Copies of this chain bind each other. A is one copy, B any other.
Amino acid sequence: MAQPLPVMFLADADGDWQVERISPVSGECLLPASGLTMIEGDSEADADGGVWCLRGVTSNPRYTIGAELKKLTSVSPLLGRREASCAALIPIKKSEVWWAMAQDERRAVFEESSHHIARSIKYLPAVARRLHHARDLGEPFDFLTWFEFAPEHRNAFEDLVGELRNTEEWIYVEREVDIRLARD
């Protein structure tokens, strides 16, 4: 676990990734844009342009226990694989009820009931994933999850997203936007 990495997602007319669609899942959607760029590191200067800009930071694991962390680390690929020309950015905001819950209560919903880690690990290494925390930064979303996968794993990714949205954990999701991306 390195130092937290600040990451900015900048939506604009152009970008490193072409936006295929921006779909509202729960609550207010984000404005349409045709390009998206992920900017790693501190870059306040870039935040002014663009149609919208979301910021997050990679951080330490919040629910993952030792055995899960070991397994995740062993099968998680790096981002930027040549064949992974599909991506998704899924910003999520959870309810105040979720955030008021104690650590063991959130963990019980997250994993013991919803199997968030167990479900996700089945899709590794096909679907690379990086979680960015945003709530403590005063951002409109609590989490920005970034996924990268090859075109042949599009259906697998749909399965993963569909599974998670049917869990008890998702009762606490009050805003969610699903942004699908591709690059040449």
Which A residues contact B (CB, under 8 angstroms)?
1-4, 6, 42, 57, 59-66, 68-69, 96, 99-100, 102-105, 107, 133, 135-138
Alpha-carbon distance A65/B57, docked complex (angstroms): 25
A135: chain B residues within 8 A (beta carbon): 4, 59
Closest residue of chain B to A135, judged by CB? Answer: B4
Closest residue of chain B to A67, judged by CB? Answer: B102
Alpha-carbon distance A104/B179, docked complex (angstroms): 33
Alpha-carbon distance A62/B107, docked complex (angstroms): 11
Alpha-carbon distance A103/B1, docked complex (angstroms): 13
Q: Which of B42, B100, B133, B138 contacts A42 (CB 8 A)?
A: B138
A63: chain B residues within 8 A (beta carbon): 103
A104: chain B residues within 8 A (beta carbon): 65-66
Of the listed residues A4, A69, A104, the one surrounded by the most CB atoms of chain B closer than 10 A to its CB is A104
Shortest Cβ distance from residue A153 to the other chain B in the assembled complex, whole angstroms:
27
A103: chain B residues within 8 A (beta carbon): 61-65, 103, 107
Does B133 contact A136, Cβ atoms closer than 8 Å? yes
In the complex, besides A3-B96, A60-B99, A64-B102, 14 extra interface pairs with C-beta distance below 8 angstroms are A1-B96, A1-B100, A2-B96, A4-B135, A4-B138, A42-B138, A59-B136, A63-B103, A65-B102, A66-B104, A66-B105, A133-B136, A136-B136, A136-B137
Alpha-carbon distance A68/B103, docked complex (angstroms): 10
Alpha-carbon distance A59/B66, docked complex (angstroms): 24
Does B1 contact A99, Cβ atoms closer than 8 Å? yes
Does A69 contact B102, Cβ atoms closer than 8 Å? yes
Please name the 6 residue pairs, one residue from A and one from B, whose CB atoms are nearest each other, closest first.
A1-B100, A65-B104, A66-B102, A69-B102, A60-B99, A57-B136
